[in-house]
Structures are given as C-alpha cells and as structure tokens.
Amino acid sequence: MDLEDQANVNRLAETSGTDDMVVLLGQPDANSAGLFAETVTRGDPTWAGPLAGVPLGLPVYHVLEPEIKEQMDGDLYDEHVGLMELSADVDEIIKWVAVCRD
C-alpha cells in the first residue's frame, strides 16, 4: 500500500474513529491483497509508511468476496469487477484477506 493511501487511512482513523470504518481492497493477486490487508490490520509489514507499527485492526474485505458482491448492483459489478473475477485466483485472495481479518 503506497504511503499516500496509508496516510489517508491513518488520518481517517484518527479523525473519525474506526468503529464505522471498513477497508475494501481490489488487488488482483493474493500476495498484494494479503500485504494490503495486513497493513490495515497489524500495521505496514514493510515498515515504510505511516501505518508502520500502527495496528489499526480494521475490518478488511476484498471486492471479490461474496458478502461484498451481493451488496452491489450486478451490472455495475460485472462492468468493473467481472474481468478480475474471471482472471484472478479468487479463493486464494479471499483466504489471505480472511487470515488478516480474523
């Protein structure tokens, strides 16, 4: 997760609190989805950004997870996510995001 995104997440957490905050990821592979999920839960594992050593513990989901998909308009989902749903290793992505979330 780049430093600007980390700073934005950190700022929102500090100014608005984390009670009503959910992070939604869209990375196309398990490795980067896992790294991003870890960043917003346990802190930046690369120790490079504002979330280094900041375990926000935010609930984090991937856009490919069924509980996210079922809340979205079907046509819009197909337009923006359909191609990734077909091309990505969905099970692996969900597994790694869930590991961080749980």
10: CB partners within 8 A, 6+ apart: 50, 51, 54, 56
| 32: contact with another protein by CB under 8 A | yes
Between 26 and 59, CB nearer to another protein = 26
User: Contact, 27 vs 48, CB < 8 A?
Assistant: no
Between 14 and 79, CB nearer to another protein = 79
| 80: contact with another protein by CB under 8 A | yes
| 96: contact with another protein by CB under 8 A | no
3-state SS, residue 7: helix
Q: Which of 65, 54, 56, 78 is nearest to 24 (CA)?
A: 65
| 84: contact with another protein by CB under 8 A | yes
Between 18 and 32, CB nearer to another protein = 32
Q: How far apart are CA 71 and CA 34, in angstroms?
A: 23
| Chain residues that interact with another protein, rule: CB under 8 A | 1, 27-29, 31-32, 35-36, 46-48, 79-80, 82-84, 86-88
